[in-house]
Amino acid sequence: MFSAKKLIPLAVLSSLCAAASAEGLAARALSAISETTPAGLVDDSEREPGATGWFKSVGRGFGRLVDRGDTHLVLPLYTEHPRWDYSNRSQENAYPFGGGFARSMIDSRGNERLAYAIVFSDSHYKPEPFLGYAWLSRWNVGQTGLHVGAGYLAGLTFRADYMWLPIPAPLPLVNVGTKNVGAYMTYIPFSNVFFVFSTIAIDSRSSREMPLTPKSVWFNRSNLVYGGASWVHNDLGSPDGMTMSSDAGWNAGVRHYFDRHWAADLGVIRSRHNTYWYGDKRHKWDMTQVNLFGQYHADATDALRVFAGLGLGYASLHRDGLTKNSVHPAMQVGFTWAFSREFHLTGNMTTAFPRFHHIDDEVTTGKATARPAPTSFNLSLGKTF
């Protein structure tokens, strides 16, 4: 028979073993979580001890991902505002026009890591930048070439309704895709929306660092002058019942390449639109948009480049006896196809954020601000030199 005196040391020893086991499990869990961060891309020999060393490893790993990863074009697709929480969901922006780039890497365990920077039109038709890091564990779907994934993204976003202060955004992330194309969805709890975006693989580190040869259609072609047709989609809707039509127009511009990837683009888009008040036509307006963009270009093929740009826009809305002006941010994504050395076909989606104050005051409160959030789809033929 065991006496109480004998049971006490056994109980203490058992408790110590349980505590050590729990501590070991916690340490292993923390280590596993740490491996999913950019620090997991840093070799053990490069890591330094302590919290400061861990943050250095995160920074080093993130830089390694940006430098060595494959380039992906990122396209926001849809924002779902659930009916149970948004009685005004028809007034919220469901199509977050915009785009950006990501650098992606598949690690030694088959997990996907992304460093991304995108800008899109938020639920209130205002620009929202989002940048950060994502990790997903992936599983192949038989021999179909498809995979599914689940993980998280961690980044910073900046919103006008939060005074443009940086907002940390640790969010869940799921994915389905192939080697070159992926669809992703995340849930954003503080605004209760589901956000869907896609990625398209563009280039690898080796291809983007390969110098252009004299045989390339891009070689020694630093400038592009272009012009073509446009379709300008407006999303104007005000509490006073004012709407604005979407119509065709034209565009023209000039682009200068500073090197293989970076360019500046100055363009103009001209279109004509009607305003309506509760369905009754009020006026016809001429809209002129002038946009200056800084662009990053990536080679998808020898003759095809895709690009994303951020910049500043100026817009003028004019009718007889009245002109309204706006200076605002603008963004775009697009492509350029060099079907010959002399002539290139270029297209883009450009989203601007003008604010026109007090238009059609005779039918509104006199305090209305028109926010058409024009997104133009442009296709142009260009001459290089």
Tell me: the pLDDT tens digits for 88-147? 888 899 999 999 999 999 998 999 999 999 999 999 999 999 999 999 999 999 999 999
Does residue 236 fall inside a structural domain? yes
Does residue 358 fall inside a structural domain? yes
DSSP letter, residue 18 = H
Does residue 32 fall inside a structural domain? no
- Distance between CA atoms of 149 and 79, rounded to whole angstroms? 20
Handedness of CA 269, 275, 281, 282 (dihedral sign): negative
Residues 221 and 349 in one domain: yes
Measuring CA to CA, how many Å separate 253 from each of 221, 225, 290, 313? 16, 6, 9, 13
Contacts of 72 (CB under 8 A, 6+ apart): 101, 102, 103, 104, 114, 182, 199, 200, 201, 202
Choosing from 121, 123, 230, 376, the catalytic residue is 123
Q: What is the pLDDT of residue 24?
A: 64
Residues 332 and 228 in one domain: yes
Tens of pLDDT, residues 141-170: 999 999 999 999 999 999 998 999 999 999
pTM of the predicted protein model = 0.88
Residue type at position 271? S
Contact call for residues 201 and 179 (beta carbons, < 8 A) = yes
Output the six-digit token pair for 79: 């924002």
Q: Compute the half-sphere exposure of residue 35: CA atoms within 13 Å on the CB side of its CA.
A: 13
Residues 223 and 257 in one domain: yes
> Which run of H or E residues covers position 74?
strand 70-80
Choosing from 122, 265, 299, 360, the catalytic residue is 122
Which of 245, 37, 249 shows the shortest CA–CA distance to 153?
37
Choosing from 72, 81, 283, 344, the catalytic residue is 81
147 is catalytic: no
Output the six-digit token pair for 236: 């104007």
Strand duo 223-233 + 247-257: pairing: antiparallel
Residues 219 and 203 in one domain: no
Hey, how many other C-beta atoms are within 10 angstroms of the C-beta on 31?
A: 10
Residues 146 and 286 in one domain: no
Distance between alpha carbon 133 and the CA centroid of its chain, in Å?
A: 12
Q: What is the pLDDT of residue 364?
A: 53
- Distance between CA atoms of 142 and 335, rounded to whole angstroms? 34
Among 144, 178, 207, give the residue marking a domain's end.
207
Tally of domains within the chain: 2
Please measure the distance between the N-terminal and C-terminal CA atoms of the chain and give it in whole angstroms. 99
Measuring CA to CA, how many Å separate 383 from each of 156, 157, 194, 221, 227? 40, 38, 42, 10, 9
265 is catalytic: no
Strand duo 181-188 + 247-257: pairing: unpaired
Among 207, 242, 269, give the residue marking a domain's end.
207
Question: In 34-180, which ranges are E strands?
Answer: 70-80, 98-106, 112-121, 127-140, 147-158, 166-177
What DSSP letter does each residue of 40-61 carry, written as one string? GGS-GGG--SHHHHHHHHHHHH
- Distance between CA atoms of 232 and 267, rounded to whole angstroms? 14
CATH number assigned to the domain comprising residue 225? 2.40.160.20
Residues 273 and 346 in one domain: yes
Among 180, 207, 234, give the residue marking a domain's end.
207
Q: What is the pLDDT of residue 279?
A: 84
Residues 184 and 248 in one domain: no
Residues 113 and 196 in one domain: yes
Residues 243 and 337 in one domain: yes
Burial category of 52 from C-beta neighbours within 10 Å (exposed 0-12, middle 13-18, buried 19 and up)? exposed
Does residue 54 fall inside a structural domain? no
Phi and psi at residue 126, to the nearest 5°: -125, 150
318 is catalytic: no
Domain that holds residue 161: 68-207
Does residue 30 fall inside a structural domain? no
- Distance between CA atoms of 344 and 24, rounded to whole angstroms? 61
Residues 264 and 197 in one domain: no
Q: Which residues of the chain have pLDDT under 70?
A: 1-26, 237-240, 361-368
Does residue 46 fall inside a structural domain? no
Strand duo 112-121 + 242-244: pairing: unpaired
- Distance between CA atoms of 38 and 264, rounded to whole angstroms? 32
Contact call for residues 107 and 113 (beta carbons, < 8 A) = yes
